[in-house]
Structure 1
Amino acid sequence: MREKGYSGVDQDAAGGLTPLGRIVIDAWVFGILPESETCTGWNMSRMQVLYEEVYAAWEPYSHLPSLLPPELQQRHSVLYEQRIAIARNSGWDTDLSDES
């Protein structure tokens, strides 16, 4: 049985604002991956290695964007604002209420 690969951040649900998508976006923030790398087709073993690299990059900042140095804070803000806009344009709704 063949393992299905990751769809890639551009094909991921909610503009890539899923757990796997956030790993890719954070890898862009820290320069672990170039923004041209969307991880399309990556298997879960490879995504796990990326997760570990991203986790280690966040550790000095206690995994809090507010503790990033200014240049990384700016990069984080820009990348996440772009992804949020993509998600909203594709119908993503941030309303978590059950009253629909």
Structure 2
Amino acid sequence: MKSKIYEGIHQQEQGGMTPTANIIRDAWVFGLLPEEETCEGWTIQGIDALYDKVSAAWEPYGHLASNLPPELRERHARIYDAAIAQARAAGWNPELDEGD
């Protein structure tokens, strides 16, 4: 059986507004990955291992951005604000319609 390979955060559907992309962005916030790392070519097992590290990094903060110390909160805001702007420019709409 062939392993599924991740396409990378910048090639992902919905302008990268997916749970997998959020794991990567959170890894950037916590310094687990450099911001240049898109995870393109990673296996699902690699993404799962990253999820475990990201989840552990969030634990002291109750998984809430509002509980992050100022430096991490500012990095989180910068990374997510840029991602939202890029996704909207690519046509992503956060509003759900009746078909969603």
TM-score by length of 2: 0.94
The CA RMSD over aligned residues, in Å, is 1.2
Greater than 2 Å deviation, 4+ residue runs: none
CA offsets per residue over residues 20-65 of structure 1, 9 Å max, x none?
A: 0000000000000001100001001111110000000000000000
Match of 1:55 in 2: 55
State the number of aligned residues: 99
Query: Percent of counterpart pairs with the same letter?
Result: 52
- Unaligned 5+ segments in structure 2 are none
Match of 2:76 in 1: 76
CA offsets per residue over residues 41-100 of structure 1, 9 Å max, x none?
A: 10011111100000000000000000000000000000000000110010001222328x
Take 1:63 and 1:42, find their aligned partners in 2: how far apart are those partners?
25
Summarize the alignment of residues 19-38 of structure 1 with structure 2, pairs less than 5 Å apart.
19-38=19-38
Take 2:77 and 2:35, find their aligned partners in 1: how far apart are those partners?
15
Letter in 1 for 2:73: Q
Take 2:79 and 2:15, find their aligned partners in 1: how far apart are those partners?
11
Letter in 2 for 1:88: R
Could you say what secondary structure the match of 1:10 adopts? Answer: helix
Take 1:40 and 1:28, find their aligned partners in 2: how far apart are those partners?
15
